[in-house]
Structure 1
Amino acid sequence: MNDANPPGAIEPPRLVGRMLLAAILAAVAGLMFGLDIGVISGALSFIQKAFRISDATLGFIVASMTLGAAAGALVAGRTSAVLGRRASLIISGFAFVAGALCCAFAQSVPEMVAGRIVLGVAIGIASFVAPLYISEIADESRRGRMISLYQLMITSGILLAFLSDAVLAYYGAWRWMLGIVAVPGVVFVIGAFFLPASPRWLVLRGRMEEAVNTLTHLRGSREHALSEADSIRASVTEKQRGVSLLRENPNFRRSVLLGIALQLIQQLTGINIVMYYAPRIFEVAGFGQSGQLWGTATIGLVNVLATFIAIGFADSWGRRSMLLTGFVIMAAGMGALAWLLSLGHTNSDLVHYLAVAVLLCFVMGFAFSAGPMIWILCAEIQPLEGRDFGIACSTFTNWAANYLVGQTFLILLDGLGAPRTFWLYAAFNALFLLFTLAFVPETRGVALEVIERNLYAGKRLRDIGR
């Protein structure tokens, strides 16, 4: 203990390398997610030509991954509670590798869809477990920053995939686009075997001594580990519950509904229509094939860079403030894109580059706000005894909404036209700004146990972080 501390004082937590390394390894699950989003974007036109399929079938191939992810999110709640966070991440890694290889060697649409569904199950499990795991190994003063690593990995994966797509597209090597993502999947599986178990999960399983040892390993202080383990144990009144707790406790219903609403909001911002269909959007804006691919890669780069804003300010500026700022930028970006597209197909370079600029503003707004902040909040607001169930519900909603958006975008584009489609998403983002003002709490720097006590005390949702 530091001599400057009075006798008996508990050493404050330190961000030791072991805790950061564990968070980074878990966050690599997000890299797999991002790679899949990116590669399918670049491969779509080649898949459509190879299998001679319609836009509707193409949309189903894109959206089939989200069906698997929704199922994976539901399975993850059970596997995470019974087998543990680490084992669930390992399972998701194996499934990701299998799904990627299946897609790369697919000889028909059904085989492609089957591979996409397996990929989806893997990503659904990982998207549930990784933010949850990181929130449980991080101390409260750095929790937001460390969960943001998951979003950074997603954006990095998208960028890497966009860049590889831009290169491989010159050779028409779409099977390589789909198969190469199995490589980081193998790396993730190996790394996941070295992750420590979640201290909160160990306490829930009655393995108190192991929890203390793990916390000591992560925090670098036995005194702090004992204090934190006692705090976790005090908040565990009974084993993990789901439907029964939802039925009995109105405050738990509030946190579950807030998590569901937040994940629905994240998808309805329109981010995944940009990521899945970026080349198509650039085509609508008047760009040729080369411009479409490199414009898409630029989106990936901005997505990564803006995520560093979240990492730098999530624990100082705060979740709520960043969400509010992001929704203003996203509403303005979508609205400006809709207006530019309403000018009609034009050869004006100025209009083309303005369209790129406002699209990049939208992506930037999402990357530092709704992208990481919603995953952070969903990992923070659920009480410990219902955390697996609550996060499973919100993650399932994310993928169900993702499916809806992915399946309907091309239909909306054909039916409403590009300007009206993007006006619709601009209106959604304006509504989400009002929702955040009314219901979303500020949770930065607040222990998970304190958030839980405030929720159960009946405080307004926007006040449970105070």
Structure 2
Amino acid sequence: MKNNILLYTFTAAIGGLLFGFDTAVINGALPFFSEHFALDGAMQGWSVSSGLIGCVIGAIFIGKPSDIFGSRSMLKFLAVLFVVTALGTGLAPNFTIFIIARIIGGIAIGGASVLSPVYISEISPAEFRGRLGSVFQLAIVIGILLAFASDLALLNTGENNWRFMFLSGGIPAIAFFAMLFFVPSSPRWLVKAGKEKEAKRVLLQLAVSDAGSLINEIKQSLASEEGKKKENLFKGTNLNLVLIGIAVAVFNQLTGINIVMYYSADIFRSVGFTTDSAIWQTVIIGATNLVATIIGMSLIDKVGRKKLLLTGSLSMAGFLLLFGILTLTGYQGYGLLVLLVGFAFSFAASSGVTIWVLISELFPNSIRARACSVSSFSNWLVNSASSFLFPIVLAAFPERIGLGYSFIFYGITTIIAYFFYKRYLVETRGKTLEEMNNVVISH
């Protein structure tokens, strides 16, 4: 594999790193800016979920500008937004400015969640596309770990520690913007924009032996997609597949994974750990997330998507239910950390590595882009709602009751997900994308 392909992939994947960093950095900063702005439970939930609302906006509206200006140009724009959110949240003089900066950051995350994988897939040789595409998910979990580690490193820097935590995100954002000047536009977009000579030059950089033939294939593909844009997304088999895609996206969030990623420091404090200890434990969870993701990446093409999801769902449900029950009993100890680490490992090695791969494979070519958009929207929407409601639920019940029942709820929904996957989910491993046209839900 040529070095420039690795450089282009690594550069685009920084969008995933910033995705992970900006969604997770709020974990350690939450108690400190909450005290600074005197936030109640609802406002804490809004401080987290406002960024996720931005994610929904970014994911929905980035497609059209990307078609016009190209994914590389729009990634530069998103890199600027990442810098703006780092400065805006870190220097915010009041809560309103803080929320506006969070929404801007969410738009950047949502856009990057769409464009970075697309760019990587469009510059990747076919024989390496799977491995290069998985780099984006790996970058996300590295970003999460870096966020937790930076929160820990900046914990004892004084009353403005939370500002430094947010400002630290500006460093990779600036690096992302600078590195994007050293990568080309994707050949697919160049052909679409009528720049065939430039497309041929980029394909030669990517070590494509017969650039002319590939350009002709791209032209035919673009013409085919244009002809099928009017196919009904919500009719017959298409509707069945879209409903499965929505369910997979929603159940991914109803495991409670992002409650752990956003609020684990608060969760550990609420069960008796000190702030320093709680943030240390988020770093352990972040490291577990990274290791399990690498393991899941090595298994997904061997074991299959469905089997990973089934095994992971049962494992996650067990850890969630035990955590909820022990919390209700008043138990204090590192057994709670073991349970959350086990849950994070189970998620990352199954649903974490599977969801985006599965969603991208589940739909036939003619509806893939639109159906993936609907599934992604569902994922972000449930993520936003659960993140907003969680601190409200905790504040509404005395001591550990809200926390315990929240985890029991997520344990039950994960069991329901298991039976859904077993009954309705198809195994996409080894199937061509065209074969998915014939998949029908059996009743």
- Is TM-score (shorter-chain normalized) higher than 0.5? yes
SS in 2 for 1:376: helix
Over residues 408-427 of structure 1, what are the superposed CA-to-partner deviations in whole Å (9 max), with x where a residue is unaligned?
11223344622221111011
2:393 equivalent in structure 1: 412
Tell me the CA shift for residue 70 of structure 1.
Answer: 0.7
1:183 is the counterpart of 2:163: no
For 1:242 and 1:108, locate their aligned partners in 2 and report how far apart those are by CA, in whole Å. 49
Q: What TM-score do the two structures reach when normalised by structure 1?
A: 0.85
Q: Matches of 2:73 and 2:369 in 1, distance apart?
A: 15
Instruction: Kindly provide the CA deviation profile for residues 403-443 of structure 1, in whole angstroms up to 9, marking residues without a partner as x.
Output: 11101112233446222211110111122222223343444
State the alpha-carbon separation in 2 of the partners of residues 217 and 319 from structure 1.
Answer: 34
1:12-65, CA deviations, whole angstroms, 9 ceiling, x for partnerless residues?
A: xxx443333322221111111111122211111111111112111111011100
- Note if 1:90 corresponds to 2:70: no
Deviates more, 1:185-194 or 1:407-416: 407-416
Distance 2:194 2:242 in 1: 25
Using the TM superposition, give the Cα deviation of residue 378 of structure 1 relative to its aligned residue in structure 2, in angstroms.
Answer: 2.6
Whether the 8 Å CA contact 1:96–1:182 is kept in 2: the answer is yes
CA distance 1:249–1:455, change in 2 (3 Å): farther
Partners of 2:233 and 2:371 within 8 A in 1: no
**How many residue pairs align between the two structures?**
436
CA contact (8 A) 1:240 1:384 kept: no
How far off its partner does 1:304 sit? Answer: 1.2
1:391 aligned partner: 372
1:45 aligns with 2:31: yes
The aligned counterpart of 1:12 is none
Partner-residue secondary structure (3-state), 1:316? helix
SS of the aligned residue for 1:32 comes to helix
Between the aligned partners of 1:438 and 1:81, the Cα distance in structure 2 is 38
The CA distance in 1 between the partners of 2:135 and 2:334, in whole Å, is 31
Relative distance call for 1:292 and 1:430 in structure 2 (3 A) is same
Indicate the residue corresponding to 1:460 in structure 2.
440
- Deviation of 1:139 (Å): 4.6
Counterparts of residues 326-365 of structure 1 (less than 5 Å): 326-344=312-330, 346-347=331-332, 352-365=333-346
Which of 345, 352, 355 matches 1:374? 355
| Alpha-carbon distance, 1:202 to partner | 4.5
Corresponding residue SS for 2:156: helix
Corresponding residue for 2:149? Answer: 163
By how many angstroms is 1:217 displaced?
A: 3.4
Question: Post-superposition shift, 1:197?
Answer: 3.1
Counterpart amino acid of 2:209? R
* 279-288 or 354-363, larger mean C-alpha shift: 279-288
Provide the alpha-carbon RMSD of the alignment: 2.7
The alpha-carbon deviation at position 74 of structure 1 amounts to 1.0
C-alpha distance in structure 2 between counterparts of 1:461 and 1:143, whole Å: 29
CA contact (8 A) 1:202 1:208 kept: yes
Contact 1:124–1:395 under 8 Å retained in 2 = no
Q: 1:217 corresponds to which residue?
A: 205
1:281 and 1:248 map into 2 onto residues whose CA distance is 41
* SS of the residue 2:302 aligns to: coil
8 Å CA contact retained: 1:204, 1:239: no
Return closer, same or farther for 1:231/1:374 CA change in 2, 3 Å cut-off.
Answer: farther
Is residue 424 from structure 1 mapped to residue 409 from structure 2 by the alignment?
A: yes
| 2:66 corresponds to | 80
Residues 367-414 of structure 1 deviation map (CA, whole Å, 9 limit, x = unaligned): 122222212223334444544433332222222111111011122334
In 1, are the aligned partners of 2:240 and 2:440 still within 8 Å (CA)?
Answer: no
Amino acid at match of 1:192: L
Pick from 245, 256, 276 the counterpart of residue 270 of structure 1. Answer: 256
The answer to whether the 8 A contact 1:271-1:366 is kept is yes
Distance 1:377 1:203 in 2: 28
Q: Is the 8 A contact 2:117 2:133 kept in 1?
A: yes
TM-aligned CA distance change 1:256 to 1:269, over 3 Å:
same
Matches of 2:243 and 2:75 in 1, distance apart? 26
1:435 equivalent in alignment to 2:420: yes
Q: Which moved more, 1:149-158 or 1:136-145?
A: 136-145
The code of the aligned residue for 1:311 comes to M
CA distance in 2, matches of 1:320, 1:142: 23
Q: Find the counterpart in structure 1 of residue 266 from structure 2.
A: 280
Question: What letter is aligned with 2:36?
Answer: A
**Residue pair 2:148, 2:286 contacting (<8 A) in 1 also:** yes
In the TM superposition, what are the counterparts of 1:171-210 in structure 2 within 5 Å?
A: 171-172=157-158, 173-202=161-190, 204-205=192-193
Aligned residue number for residue 7 of structure 1: none
Would the alpha carbon gap of residues 398 and 51 (structure 1) be closer, same or farther in structure 2, given more than 3 Å must change?
same
Asked whether the 8 Å contact 2:21–2:143 carries over to 1, the reply is: yes
> Is the CA contact (8 Å cut-off) linking 2:31 and 2:266 kept in structure 1?
no
The TM-score with structure 2 as length reference comes to 0.89
Shift of 1:134: 2.5
Q: Which residues of 2 match residues 287-326 of structure 1 at below 5 A?
A: 287-326=273-312
Distance 2:18 2:418 in 1: 30
* Equivalent residue, structure 1, for 2:51: 65
CA contact (8 A) 1:279 1:292 kept: yes
